[in-house]
Amino acid sequence: MDRKDFLQLFVLGTAAAATGCLGGCSSESKANDPTPPATGVDFTLDLTAPANAQLAAGTGFVYGASNRVLVAKTNGTYVALQASCTHEGVTLSFDSATSRVVCPRHGGTYSSTGAVLAGPPPAALKQYTVVQTGNLLRITG
């Protein structure tokens, strides 16, 4: 292989690699797109069930609708919010000590109503309707 052939292969290989990365290495790639909020949500939680004990006590939270809805207790009432961060779709958790929803990836913080309080999230969380009847919570939205 002479110098000319080597340079042509090198330039073509570099261009091909750069072109492939431009389409797939961007921070806007589909892999980082947020998960859309759950629609058509309609499920019931039994507060007396062992799996929901921490939720009922107000010291924990549970996920519903195939882990797309976060249900927590704050100030004596139950709230249900989109369980994925609006920034990159990471699964959120509820901090019962502060009554805030937090994203473990970039520190995004939401209020118990889903409003953005801090960090990179571009939008509020979807809030679902919670109706309590005795020991049952029905979440819809």
Minimum mean pLDDT among 1-10, 49-58, 85-94: which range? 1-10
What is the 3 state secondary structure string of 43-100?
Answer: EEEECCCHHHHHHHHCCCEEEECCCCEEEEEECCEEEEEECECCCCCCECEEECCCCE
| Alpha-carbon span 8 to 131, nearest angstrom | 68
pLDDT (tens digit per residue) in 93-116: 999 999 999 999 999 999 999 999
Rg (CA), the chain: 22
pLDDT (tens digit per residue) in 38-58: 889 999 999 999 999 999 999
pTM of this structure: 0.76
What pLDDT is recorded for position 36?
85
pLDDT classification of 1: cutoffs 50, 70, 90? low
- Structure tokens of 35? 């998960």
